[in-house]
């Protein structure tokens, strides 16, 4: 048999053994011994300590090793197997050295309480030992490495090994951070939407309970919050997106005609995009404040600008002003890349300015417009800062958007499971809308 | 006929320039108002809006009687307010977070982009597009677990939580890759024939030639770090661990009672850093953006 096939088989055994193994946590108090077994997969679900954070990497490395062996890249497979073994050993050492892992502590403490014992936190000692399957896993991993070990005696193999492995070294830092801070949170976020969770402890799986509450339990606080928050978010997107597209496009097109002071004007219109939400909101709320603000006194208005319905107007003005720059520079560069001779040809055919816009500018910018349209809508769906800083939950949450409810449900009220479910619904809405946009525009560009 | 076209174009140019300059004035009013009023004393600020004698008086009242740095100084000394949030600590936090994050982003994303674009990497494209599609999943899902991860790492109320989680953006790699496509591969090969290693090619050939887009990525990364609002309020509980952006909301609570000019001054302070960075890389800005294919298609 080929060594590659053997290595693949051993790797599969390694993976299966990893999935099945776990650690035993034991604690003794007043001659009562309680113990629990925590499988590795269960500890990933709890994300309870720094040591546990190594586990996702082991899984990614295993997956990469398997893919490499299947693609007949034995050397790359060797590297990833070796990495997963090293990480696994590091995990075992770090995990067993941990004396106070929150999820283990909670489980063992509950077991003591069942027996009628109350153990003080400072008397609580946990001993963690790996099960025998853990050692088997390490052995299987080492065996996989041994079988797939490249022949390092010839210089050609060494050189080709270096060439094969080098790209991975370059992408490694980025992929590591990406795995830990983007991939794991996304998977975990989807999982916790189906759990009862207080954000600090282990989530408990409850199935569709959260979704039943927020989607169908009429009269429930969270039901009302989701509806109000989602509706306000959708309103925010609907009101702001037209201005977020048309104003930057108009400014970019006008700027193209300007020769003197072009750089200056561009900087002026880009300027607000450099500022933070808090700065922008501070400036505008003071500018339009009823007492001592400039605008209400200057225009002689007596109403409160930051109360509905005017608050929506303010949100649109402020958001258009603030986010204009980002899209404007993209439009500018896209406009600059349209060949001048197309305009000349159009003028020779007797096209007027409007016709040139519809038949030359827009088709040339179709890709840019699609891209900015989708990104603008997505960024508006994720709105948090402006409504939160402008009026928070005042006026019965007339401007409260879903991100505000998600954050406060999770961190103020400690109902993170519900918050995760809300977040998942928001994400689903965003993705569906983006997908519809892309589909419609693809169709348009084909016709 | 040619002449009339030229003349009409000139007319359009003049109209556009005038309209845009007028619009720019309106555009800048809130910023200018904040800057000018931050130089007033608090009593002067209140006085200028209490007796309303017609619009002209009102416009004149925008200008401070004299340039007064009092509100800036008392922000730092905490004079006359129960100081909970220190602006000097927030400024230091903001600078540490933004500068370190920008440097890390520049190093790791340019290295990744180099590997995907220029090295022999059979599965590179697959990996890249996989990462790219994962990032399209909206951030609302990941923000609560991200807190849990930082909690597990012991990073709640620790500045690490503001630096590391945000460094792995894929969009930046996308920009860098597209810019690298415009640099001829022959340059790499020439260097390789001269015996340069891949890292030497990255350092001496690629990095200098992608400078414009590196400046754009630096500006975006700095801006994102400096202006992030939601994440610092989640992961930092102590007022003195906030960045300037998230801390301004706390300052607002602290000074909102009667010290309005202090607040305006703090807003001005938070504008300075991104503005300076923009000024330094303005030269590269449009060029860097326009070469990336996210724009050109």
What one-character-per-residue DSSP string does A88-134 give?
Answer: HHHHHHHHHH-S--HHHHHHHHHHHHHTT----GGG---EEEE-HHH
What is the value of ipTM here, to two decimals? 0.88
Q: In the structure, how many helices (H) and strands (E) does chain A have?
A: 22, 5
Domain shared by B242 and B281, yes or no = yes
Of B146, B127, B129, B104, nearest to A175 (Cα)?
A: B127
Q: What is the CATH number of the domain that holds B185?
A: 1.10.3720.10
- The pLDDT assigned to A252 comes to 92
Domain shared by B289 and B146, yes or no = yes
- Cis preceding-peptide flag for A309 (omega within 30 of 0): yes
Reported as type and span, the H/E element at residue B273 is helix B260-291
Last residue of a domain, one of B52, B77, B102: B77
Interface test mutation site (partner A, options B23, B143, B219, B268, max chain A beta carbons within 10 A):
B143
DSSP β-ladder status, A22-29 and A127-130: antiparallel
From chain B, pick out residues whose CB is under 8 angstroms from the CB of A71. 122-123
Domain shared by B271 and B161, yes or no = yes
**Chain centroid to CA B32:** 20
CB A282 within 8 A of CB B267: yes
State the Cα–Cα distance between residues A215 and B138, nearest whole angstrom: 20
What one-character-per-residue DSSP string does B173-198 give?
Answer: HHHHHHHHHTS-HHHHHHHHHTT--H
Task: Show the domain range for B21.
Answer: 2-77
Contact B140 A73 (CB under 8 A): no
Domain shared by B95 and B64, yes or no = no
Last residue of a domain, one of B26, B55, B77: B77
Interface test mutation site (partner A, options B110, B148, B157, B207, max chain A beta carbons within 10 A):
B148
Domain shared by B191 and B70, yes or no = no
CATH, domain A213-446, list 1.10.3720.10, 2.40.128.110, 1.10.10.10, 3.40.50.10470: 1.10.3720.10
- The pLDDT assigned to B296 comes to 41
Helical packing angle, A3-20 and A74-97, nearest 10°: 20
Q: What is the pLDDT of residues B153-207, one digit of tens each?
A: 889 999 999 999 999 889 899 889 888 888 888 888 899 898 888 899 999 999 9
- The pLDDT assigned to A117 comes to 82
pLDDT band at B52 (very low <50, low <70, confident <90, very high): low
Kindly state whether residue B149 falls inside one of the protein's structural domains: yes
Contact A279 B270 (CB under 8 A): yes
Domain shared by B50 and B117, yes or no = no
Interface test mutation site (partner B, options A55, A175, A286, max chain B beta carbons within 10 A):
A286
Domain shared by B96 and B71, yes or no = no
Q: How many CB pairs under 8 A join A and B?
A: 286
From chain B, pick out residues whose CB is under 8 angstroms from the CB of A48. 152
- The pLDDT assigned to B84 comes to 62
Contact A254 B19 (CB under 8 A): yes
Last residue of a domain, one of B59, B77, B95: B77
Contact A277 B229 (CB under 8 A): yes
Kindly state whether residue B57 falls inside one of the protein's structural domains: yes
- The pLDDT assigned to B4 comes to 65
Domain shared by B143 and B252, yes or no = yes
Domain shared by B44 and B141, yes or no = no
Domain shared by B71 and B91, yes or no = no
Residues of chain A with CATH 1.10.3720.10: 213-446
Residue A265, both tokens: 């004007």
Contact A265 B21 (CB under 8 A): yes
Q: How many domains does chain B have?
A: 2
- The pLDDT assigned to A390 comes to 86
Residue A213, both tokens: 């509450």
β-strand partners of A37: A24
CA distance A30 to chain B (A): 30
> Distances in Å between the alpha carbon of B12 and those of A255, A353, A444, B20?
11, 11, 32, 12
CA distance A164 to chain B (A): 7
Domain shared by B143 and B257, yes or no = yes
Domain shared by B134 and B187, yes or no = yes
CB A326 within 8 A of CB A379: no
Could you report the average pLDDT of every consecutive run of 10 residues in chain A (447 residues)? 85 93 86 86 83 90 91 87 94 84 81 84 82 92 89 81 87 93 93 90 88 89 91 94 94 88 89 90 86 78 83 92 90 86 86 86 86 89 90 82 92 91 94 89 67
Choose the closest CB to A189 out of B145, B282, B297. Answer: B145
> Distances in Å between the alpha carbon of A221 and those of A217, A229, A235, A393, B140?
9, 12, 21, 14, 20
Kindly state whether residue B69 falls inside one of the protein's structural domains: yes
CA distance B106 to chain A (A): 11
Return the SS3 of A235.
helix
From chain B, pick out residues whose CB is under 8 angstroms from the CB of A192. 144-145
For A350, which residue in chain B has the nearest alpha carbon? B5
Return the SS3 of A23.
strand
Kindly state whether residue B82 falls inside one of the protein's structural domains: no
Q: What is the pLDDT of residues B67-104, one digit of tens each?
A: 888 888 888 876 666 566 778 888 999 999 999 999 99
């Amino acid at each position: 048999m080929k060594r590659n096939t053997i290595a693949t088989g051993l790797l599969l055994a390694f993976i299966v053994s990893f999935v099945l193994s776990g650690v035993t946590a034991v604690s003794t108090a007043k001659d009562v011994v309680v113990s629990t077994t925590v499988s590795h997969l269960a500890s990933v679900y709890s994300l309870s300590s720094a040591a546990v954070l190594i586990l996702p990497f082991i899984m990614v490395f295993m997956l990469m090793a398997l893919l490499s062996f299947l693609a007949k890249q034995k050397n790359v497979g060797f590297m990833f197997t070796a990495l997963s073994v090293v990480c696994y050993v590091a995990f075992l050492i770090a995990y067993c050295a941990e004396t106070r892992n929150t999820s283990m502590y909670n489980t063992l403490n509950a077991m003591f309480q069942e027996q009628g014992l109350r153990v003080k936190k400072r008397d609580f000692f946990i001993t963690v030992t790996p099960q025998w399957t853990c050692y088997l896993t390490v052995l299987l991993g080492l065996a996989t490495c041994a079988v797939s070990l490249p022949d390092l005696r010839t210089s050609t193999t060494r050189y080709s090994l270096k060439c094969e492995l080098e790209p991975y070294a370059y992408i490694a830092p980025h992929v590591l951070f990406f795995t830990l801070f983007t991939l794991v949170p996304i998977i975990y976020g989807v999982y916790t939407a189906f759990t009862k969770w207080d954000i600090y402890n282990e989530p408990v799986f409850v199935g569709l309970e959260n979704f039943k509450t927020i989607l169908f339990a009429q009269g429930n606080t969270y039901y009302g919050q989701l509806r109000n928050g989602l509706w306000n978010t959708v309103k925010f997107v609907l009101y702001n997106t037209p201005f977020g597209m048309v104003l930057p496009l108009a400014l970019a097109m006008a700027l193209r005609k300007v020769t003197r002071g072009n750089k200056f004007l561009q900087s002026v219109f880009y300027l607000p995009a450099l500022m933070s939400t808090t700065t922008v909101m501070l400036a505008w709320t003071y500018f339009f404040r009823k007492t001592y603000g400039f605008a209400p006194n200057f225009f002689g208005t007596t109403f409160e600008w930051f109360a509905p319905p005017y608050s929506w107007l303010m949100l649109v003005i402020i958001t258009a002003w603030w986010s204009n720059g980002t899209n404007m520079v993209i439009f500018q560069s896209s406009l600059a890349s349209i060949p001048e001779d197309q305009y000349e040809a159009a003028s020779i055919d007797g096209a007027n300015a409007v016709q040139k816009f519809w038949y030359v500018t827009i088709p040339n910018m179709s890709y840019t417009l699609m891209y900015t349209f989708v990104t603008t809508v997505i960024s508006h769906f994720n709105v948090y800062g402006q409504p939160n800083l402008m009026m928070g939950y005042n006026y019965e949450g007339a401007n409260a958007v879903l991100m505000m409810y998600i954050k406060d449900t999770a961190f103020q009220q400690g109902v993170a499971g519900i918050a995760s479910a809300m977040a998942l619904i928001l994400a689903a809405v965003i993705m569906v809308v983006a997908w519809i946009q892309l589909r419609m525009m693809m169709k348009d560009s084909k016709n | 006929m040619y002449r009339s076209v030229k003349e009409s174009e000139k007319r359009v140019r003049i109209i556009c320039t005038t309209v845009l300059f007028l619009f720019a004035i309106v555009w800048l009013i809130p910023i200018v108002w904040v800057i000018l009023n931050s130089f007033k004393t608090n009593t002067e600020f209140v006085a200028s809006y209490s007796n309303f004698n017609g619009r002209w008086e009102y416009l004149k009242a925008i200008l401070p009687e004299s340039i007064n740095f009092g509100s800036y100084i008392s922000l730092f000394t905490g004079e006359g307010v129960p100081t909970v949030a220190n602006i000097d600590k927030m400024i230091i936090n903001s600078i540490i977070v933004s500068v370190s994050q920008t440097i890390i982003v520049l190093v790791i994303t340019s290295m990744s982009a180099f590997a995907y674009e220029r090295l022999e990497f059979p599965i590179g494209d697959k990996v890249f597009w996989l990462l790219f599609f994962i990032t399209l999943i909206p951030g609302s899902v990941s923000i609560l677990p991200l807190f849990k991860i930082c909690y597990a790492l012991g990073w709640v109320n620790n500045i690490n939580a503001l630096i590391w989680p945000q460094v792995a953006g894929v969009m930046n790699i996308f920009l860098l890759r597209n810019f690298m496509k415009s640099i001829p591969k022959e340059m790499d090969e020439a260097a390789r024939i001269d015996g340069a290693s891949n890292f030497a090619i990255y350092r001496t050939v690629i990095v200098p030639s992608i400078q414009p887009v590196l400046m754009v990525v630096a500006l975006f990364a700095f801006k994102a770090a400096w202006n992030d609002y939601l994440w610092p309020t989640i992961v930092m509980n102590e007022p003195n661990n906030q960045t300037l952006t998230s801390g301004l909301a706390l300052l607002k609570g602290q000074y909102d009672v009667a010290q309005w000019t202090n607040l305006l001054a703090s807003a001005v302070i938070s504008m300075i850093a991104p503005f300076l960075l923009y000024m330094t890389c303005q030269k590269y800005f449009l060029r860097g953006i326009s070469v990336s294919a996210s724009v050109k298609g």
